[in-house]
Structure 1
C-alpha cells in the first residue's frame, strides 16, 4: 500500500474493463492516475469517481486513438488538465480492441484500423511521452499471449504481437535511463468486451476449461500483474512478457 505515492500514472483505455481495474489498482497504490478514454466520457468519470471514493486521486483525459495525430492529442489533453504533473512515472498502454475475423474476412481497411489502434498508437504514445517519462519510470504494454493460435482475431493477434516485439527492443533502448518496459498478456477475462460471448453458458464453460484453474479470469487479476510491473519491486525486470492467462492451454498439454 502506498508504493506509488508521489508518482503519476497514465492508463490508456482506462475507463472500462482491464484499464479501469488497472487505474483503480494504481490509485490504491498511491499514484495520481490519468484515466484516458476515447469516447465514453460517462465511463471515465465513473472510474475517476470510484477512485476518489476509495481515497485516491484521478482525472480523465480524452483523445481518440487509432487516428492521425492521436498521440500528440493525448499528451496535449493530459497537459491541459489542472491536475496534470510535469512528469509521468508509469505509462500503461492498455487501449485496444479485438476484431473478430479470420484472414478471409479481413479487408484492408479493417486491417489498417486494427493496426492503428493496437500497434501504431502505443508506439507513438510512447514516442511523444518519452520527454515526460521520468528516468527510472515504467512502461507496461497490455498485449496478447505469444505462441497461441487465435485465428478468429488474426489481425488483432498480429498487432498485439508487434507490441510484444516493441517491448523487447524498447527495453534495451531505454535501459540507460533506468526505465523498464514489459508487457502483460491477459487470457479469457471477464470484461464488458467479452460480456456477450461469456453470457452463453456453453461458451463460458468451454473457455473456462482452457485455464488450469477452470474458470474465467477477472480484470483485477490482470491489474495486479500490471501493478507489480509498475512498482519499485519490478526494477530488475525488463523486456519481459508476463502471461496473465491463468495457465491458458496448460490443461491441454
Structure 2
C-alpha cells in the first residue's frame, strides 16, 4: 500500500516535471519563432525595394529676341536763322544699314522747351527724305528723332535756331492790346498814350528801347520811303518836321495806335500823308 502510493507520487512528479519541461520547451520554441518572425519582418522591411520614379524632362522654352537695327538718321535745316512768323524747315532721311534702303517709321521735329523735348511736326518716312516745318516763337534748340518697328530709336544732335523779331511779331504784339483805353503819359500795359503804346510794343516784341515822345521816336530806326513801308514799321505823323503822333503800320493803309483821350487802341485808317516811316526790325 505504501509502495503503491510512493509509486503514484513518483509518477505524478514525472508528469508535472514532464509537463513543465514540455511547456518550457514550447515557450522557448514560441519565443524563438517570434524572434525569427520579427527578424524576418524587420529584414523584409529593411530590404524592401522602392520602385524608381520616372522623371519626364521638361523641354526648356527659349525666347530668342530679334535684334533691333540702329538706322542712320541725317537731318539738315534750310536756315538756322529765321524771322518771327516764318517756318524753320528741316529735311531728314533715315537709312537701314542692312538693306541700304529708307527705313520705314516716324520722324518728328522737336524743340527743347523748359528742359523737355516738345514735338512740333511729325511725318512718316517710307520712300525717301521727309521735310518737316514749324514756326517757333522764340530762339530755341531743335532736333529730329526717328522711331520704327524693328529699329532702335535714334535722334540727331540739337541745333540752335535763331528767331529774329519781324514786322509780323511787332504787329502781333500790337493786336494784343486792342481795346486798351487812352491815358496821357501812360505806357502800358493796360493804358497808353500814342508814344507810350509804340514804346511798349517795340520793347516787348523786339527788345527795342524808344523814348516816350513821338517827336523823339522819329529819330530811331532806319528811314524808309512811304511806298516801301511794311507791316510793323513805325509811323510818326508830323506838323512840319515836328512829330506829334505815332502808330504801327498794319498794312493796306491802316495802323494800330492809341489815338486820343476817350478812344481805345485799335486798327485805324491813316488819315494824313504828312508822316515818316521808320523800320526798327528787319
- Under a length normalisation based on structure 1, what TM-score does the superposition of the two structures give? 0.26
Q: Indicate the structure (1 or 2) with the bigger Cα radius of gyration.
A: 2
- Under a length normalisation based on structure 2, what TM-score does the superposition of the two structures give? 0.24
Of structures 1 and 2, the one scoring higher in RCO (CA 8 A, sep 6+) is: 1
1 or 2, which has the higher strand percentage? Answer: 2
